[in-house]
Amino acid sequence: MNLSKFNQILTQTLLLPVLALAFVAGILVWQVRNAERTVSAIQASGESIAAATRAEKLIVDEETGLRGYQLTSDPRFLKPYRDAAQPLHAELDLLRRNLIAHGESTRPVEAMEAREQLWRVSFADQVISTIDGGGDTRDTTLNLEGQKKLDDVRTGINDIVDRETALRSQEVGRWRLQVRRTIEALIVLALASGIFISVFSLRQLHRVSDAYQGTLDGLRHHAQATFDSEERLRTTLTSIGDGVIVCDPGGCVELLNSVAQELTGWTQNDAFRRPLEEVFHILNETTREQIETPVAMVKRLNRVVGLANHTVLVRKDGTEINIDDSGAPIHDRNGALSGIVMVFRDITRERRAQNALLATEKLAVAGRLAATIAHEMHNPLDSVSNLLYLLRGEKDPNTAEHYLTLAQQELTRMGQVSRAMLGLYREAKNPVTINIKEMLDGVIVLLERPIQQRQLTIETAIPDHLEVHGFPAELRQVFTNLLANAAEATASGGKLILAARATSVKTLSSATAHRGVTIQVCDTGSGIEPEALEHIFEPFFTTKGELGTGLGLWFSRGIVDKHGGSIEIHSSSNPEDHGTTITVFLPHTGPATTQT
Ligand code: ADP
Ligand code: MG
């Protein structure tokens, strides 16, 4: 039920009774008009009767005056006779006009007037002139005749009066009937409209109350649904295994679920309305610099963001845990930012497991290199002891000098190998500047022997000046892995290439290009099958059975990521043109502090 329908019902409820009452009023007005017309007809009849009565009285006056003059011959008696003529004429005129106005015939009035005229002319005026001439007017025949003429006039008037009286009583009867009818109509209409209005209003009220009930039910339903969904969300939030913090658009904490309370060490009450940075204090694991919170990033970028790797959360009690987190904006219906939700989880155990795996991989590399190293050490030692033996019996100082130079070279090489070996394991605490050529040379020194044994050639194209910022032992390990993989995949007579150059690349997370170094490790080996290519960065994926750990590439990608770089692989197992190229990009800046 919407508002317009509600209004429509209300309008109907008010309008229809008003219309019904207006109809009743119309009928009543019509009835009253009819009655008024009847009343004015009655009044007209009354006036006509009155005029006729007055006319009759004037005639009586005329006769009385004439009779007095007949008896006394005193002209003063004639005054009523003479005075009556004018008013009589006026009364008859009035009577005539009345009759005309009510559509009645004036003929009786005219007939009566004519008779009166006749009485005056043929009797009264003669009697007067006879008396004036001193004659006698007591002639019975004449008087009877005069009497008769006047009776005719009276009869005429009486007829008019009778007619009007009959008319009047007829109108009165009609008026009574009308009044009765009006009253009856009034009662019937009042009853009918009363019943109609009550029934109609009742129906409308039912409709309104139904509509109201419907709306109420709808609202109740909505409220219940909202409550249910809120309850569901609350249950989801509290039972979710990850920490969830909800912030207002200003970045102040509104809600922490139980996991978030446990991980941060803050209770909901303590954290409520505090700035997120206070409750959720995060640092970069390696640089110890404070990291922008996901909420601040969401506010800045207004989109879902993930956190950089290697994030440490400092709990309220000062202890630290490794976390992985992300943030997402909450938008209201108009698309405005109404809050930010942040999800994070404790990855300390994962990190420990990862570290254990890394250690395993390091050990595996060491194991695999052990034989090489033993050779590397054994051969120069052999040479040196042989040279020392020769030197002991040598008399020629030039030859002795030559033996010493050779022994010196062998010892230098041993020094290189042991340094390269140590370089694999000794890690700097903080990122340092690394010369790419120096680092890659160290890698080659360690792998030179296996490469020679496999009868592979290695080409290098590494400029002197290239530098990046980072952890040297980790990067050495990366390139040792890549070069070892390349050597292991290549059959005897094959070729390896190690090349580096300065580049700048664009990454998805940033609009500006990153300047850095691209290092490529190419081989003419077997190549990687497309099915295997999908999995090679997964831990424990190996095609080397007992000889492989499947951790090399997984580890390498982790290290390159940590340095803010990228690693790509192109491989072909096509018999005509097989081989693999691995391209590593390392930015100058080194390990990132924050990245999405
Ligand atoms: P592992 O060397 O212990 O097997 P890696 O993670 O280093 O583990 O390599 C995973 C797999 O990727 C290897 O087993 C191999 O099948 C494949 N692979 C890596 N590098 C190359 C390469 N240069 N040529 C061919 N296959 C390669
Ligand atoms: Mg490997």
Alpha carbon distance 233, 240 (integer Å): 10
Distances (CA, A) of 453 to 447, 494, 495: 10, 12, 13
Q: Determine the residue of 368, 496, 542 to mutate for testing ligand 1's pocket, defined as the one with the most ligand atoms within 8 A of the Cβ atom.
A: 542
Overall residue count recorded for the chain in this entry: 596
- The pLDDT value given to residue 593: 42
For ligand 2, a single-atom ion, which residues have Cβ within 5 Å?
485, 552
Q: How far apart are CA 312 and CA 462, in angstroms?
A: 37
What integer pLDDT is reported at residue 332 of this predicted model? Answer: 82
Pocket of ligand 1 (CB under 6 A): 481, 485-486, 489, 523, 525-526, 528, 532, 536, 541-544, 548-554, 580
Q: Phi/psi at 252 (nearest 5 deg)?
A: -100, 145
Helix/strand/coil for 393: helix
pLDDT tens by residue, 382-403: 778 888 888 888 888 898 898 8
What distances in angstroms separate CA 351 from CA 246, 284, 357, 472, 558, one per listed residue?
26, 14, 10, 21, 12
This prediction has a pTM of: 0.50
pLDDT for residue 302: 77
- How far is residue 556's CA from residue 549's CA, in Å, rounded to a whole number? 13
Nearest-angstrom CA–CA distance, 195 and 191: 6
In the reported structure, the alpha carbon of residue 369 is separated from the centroid of ligand 2 by a whole-number distance in angstroms of 12
Q: What are phi and psi of 250, to 5 degrees?
A: -80, -10
State yes or no: pLDDT of 371 exceeds 70. Answer: no
Closest residue (by CA) to atom 19 of ligand 1?
A: 485
Q: Which atom of ligand 1 is nearest to the CA of 541?
A: 10
**Per-residue confidence (pLDDT) for residue 546, from 0 to 100:** 82
Average pLDDT over every residue of 581-594:
78
**Could you write out the DSSP letters of every residue in 345-366?**
EE-HHHHHHHHHHHHHHHHHHH
Flag whether pLDDT at 74 surpasses 80.
yes
Confidence check: pLDDT of 488 > 70: yes
CB 153 within 8 A of CB 194: no
Ligand nearest to the CA of 522: 1
**Mean pLDDT score of the chain, rounded to an integer?**
86
Exposed / middle / buried, residue 50 (Cβ in 10 Å: 0-12, 13-18, 19+): middle
Q: Supply the pLDDT for residue 594.
A: 36
What residues have CB less than 8 Å from 436, skipping those under 6 apart? 462, 466, 467, 468, 500, 517, 519
Average pLDDT over residues 260-280: 92
- pLDDT tens profile 12-25: 888 887 888 888 88
Q: What is the DSSP string of 158-186?
A: HHHHHHHHHHHHHHHHHHHHHHHHHHHHH
Residues 266, 283: contact at Cβ < 8 Å?
no
The more confident residue out of 522 and 51 is 522
E strands present in 67-154: none
Q: What is the DSSP letter of 252?
A: B
pLDDT in tens, 101-113: 878 888 988 988 8
First to last CA, the chain: 49
Q: Any alpha helices (H) in 426-502, and if so which ranges? A: 436-453, 472-489
User: Which of 116-125, 261-270, 548-557 has the weakest average pLDDT?
Assistant: 548-557
Pairing of strands 457-461, 495-506: parallel
Ligand positioned closest to the Cα atom of 544: 1
- Give per-residue pLDDT as tens, 452-470: 889 999 999 999 999 999 9
Q: Which ligand approaches the C-alpha of residue 572 most closely?
A: 1
CA angle (554, 293, 281) in 5-degree steps: 95
Among all bound ligands, the one having the nearest atom to the CA of 556 is 1
Report the pLDDT value the prediction gives residue 596, as an integer from 0 to 100. 34
Residues 302-313 have a mean pLDDT of 76
- Compute the distance from residue 490 Cα to the ligand 1 centre, in Å: 11
Q: What is the Cα 13 distance to its own chain's centre?
A: 35
Residue to mutate (ligand 1; options 363, 485, 522; most atoms within 8 A of CB): 485
Residue 301 has pLDDT above 90, yes or no: no
pLDDT attached to residue 521: 97
Structure token pair of residue 204: 């409308």
Residue 320 burial by Cβ neighbours in a 10 Å radius (0-12, 13-18, 19+): middle
Q: How confident is residue 511, by pLDDT bands cut at 50, 70 and 90?
A: low
C-alpha–C-alpha distance, residues 360 and 364, integer Å: 6
Tell me the pLDDT band of 507, cut-offs 50, 70 and 90.
low
485 CA distance to ligand 2 centroid (A)?
5
Instruction: Give the residue among 557, 555, 566, 593 at the shortest CA–CA distance from 508.
Output: 566
Q: With b meaning 16 or more CB within 10 Å and e meaning fewer, what string describes 3-25?
A: eeeeeebeeebeeebeebeeebe
pLDDT tens track for 544-583: 888 888 888 988 888 898 888 899 999 999 888 899 999 9
Please give the share of the chain, as a percent, with pLDDT higher than 70. 95
pLDDT band at 595 (very low <50, low <70, confident <90, very high): very low
Beta bridge partners of residue 346, listed in sequence order:
323
Local structure of 76: helix, strand or coil: helix
Distance (Å, rounded) from C-alpha 247 to C-alpha 297?
A: 13
To test the ligand 1 pocket, which listed residue (553, 570, 573, 577) has its Cβ within 8 A of the most ligand atoms? 553
How far apart (Å, rounded) are the C-alpha atoms in residues 156 and 460?
157
User: Ligand 1 mean position to 448 CA, how many Å?
Assistant: 19
Q: Which tokens in the block code for residue 530?
A: 């497309």
| Centroid of ligand 1 to alpha carbon of 517 (angstroms) | 23
Give how far Cα 164 sits from Cα of 93, 105, 160, 174, 385, Å. Answer: 16, 12, 6, 15, 173
Structure tokens at 147: 């009497």
Token pair 């409550």 is found at 227
Does position 208 have pLDDT exceeding 70, yes or no? Answer: yes
The secondary element (H helix, E strand) that includes residue 468 is: strand 467-470
Contact in structure between 196 and 23 (CB atoms under 8 Å): no
Q: Is the pLDDT score of 513 beyond 80?
A: no
Mean pLDDT comparison of 146-150, 234-238, 498-502, highest-scoring range: 498-502
Of all atoms in ligand 1, which is nearest to the CA of residue 549?
3
Q: Which atom of ligand 1 is nearest to the CA of 551?
A: 6
Look up residue 501 and give its amino acid.
R
361 neighbors 549 (Cβ within 8 angstroms) = yes
The best mutation among 365, 521, 536 to test binding of ligand 1, ranked by most ligand atoms within 8 Å of the C-beta, falls on 536
Q: Say what the alpha-carbon torsion angle 238, 242, 243, 248 is, to the nearest 10 degrees.
A: -80
- Going by CA atoms, what residue is nearest to atom 26 of ligand 1? 528
Buried b (16+ CB within 10 A) or exposed e, 101-120: eeebeeebbeebbebbeebb
List the one residue out of 525, 390, 517 whose CA is nearest residue 451: 525
Question: What single-letter amino acid sits at 156?
Answer: G
pLDDT at 309 over 90: no
| Structure tokens that stand for 350 in this block | 């994962």
Residue 203 has pLDDT above 60, yes or no: yes
Nearest ligand 1 atom, CA 553: 6
**Relative to the alpha carbon of 549, which ligand is closest?**
1
577, with CB counted inside 10 A (0-12, 13-18, 19+), is: exposed
